Amino acid sequence: MEDLLQDEYVIFKHIHANWLRRFEGAGGKLFLTNQRLIFVPHSLNIQTEWVQMELWGMSKIEKHQTWGIIPNGIKITMDSGEVVKFIVWNRSKIIREVICAKRTDDIILN
């Protein structure tokens, strides 16, 4: 993972996830800090670029069903309208942690 920003700390790390991007589910790991959610793909994927989302830019995070039937995903909608989807285990806990970190970040920023 890249260097942390000033006043940034890790809340959880190494959460196994798949980033649903176009026709590939890129495998990797999620990291949650008090400022960002970061996905770092495994080097064996075709698409190996990282994705990071600032918590302050998230307008919505919710449960998502893969292929419309498998209850194993999360969907994040950014203020820009961009939608990012991940397949994860224990999605309720991850969603709670992101919401809690976002609230803390909002309190610090305001």
Question: What pLDDT does residue 46 have?
Answer: 66
Instruction: Assess whether pLDDT exceeds 90 at residue 79.
Output: yes
Q: pLDDT per residue over 81-105, tens digit each?
A: 999 999 998 899 999 999 999 886 5
Task: Based on DSSP, count helices (H) and strands (E) in the chain, helices before strands.
Answer: 1, 7
Q: How many domains does the chain have?
A: 1
Domain that holds residue 37: 10-109
Residue 24 has which token pair? 């590939």
Let me know if residue 26 belongs to a domain. Answer: yes
Whether residue 15 lies inside any domain: the answer is yes
Is 3 domain-assigned? Answer: no
pTM recorded for the entire structure: 0.82
Residue 77 lies in a domain: yes
89 assigned to some structural domain: yes
Question: Which DSSP string do the residues of 39-59 spell out, in sequence order?
Answer: EEE-TTSS----EEEEGGGEE
| Pairwise pLDDT comparison (1 vs 65), residue with the higher score | 65
- Flag whether 100 is in a domain: yes
DSSP class of residue 3 equals: P
Gyration radius (Cα) of the chain, Å: 13
Q: Grade residue 80 by pLDDT with cuts at 50, 70 and 90.
A: very high
CATH number, residue 66? 2.30.29.30
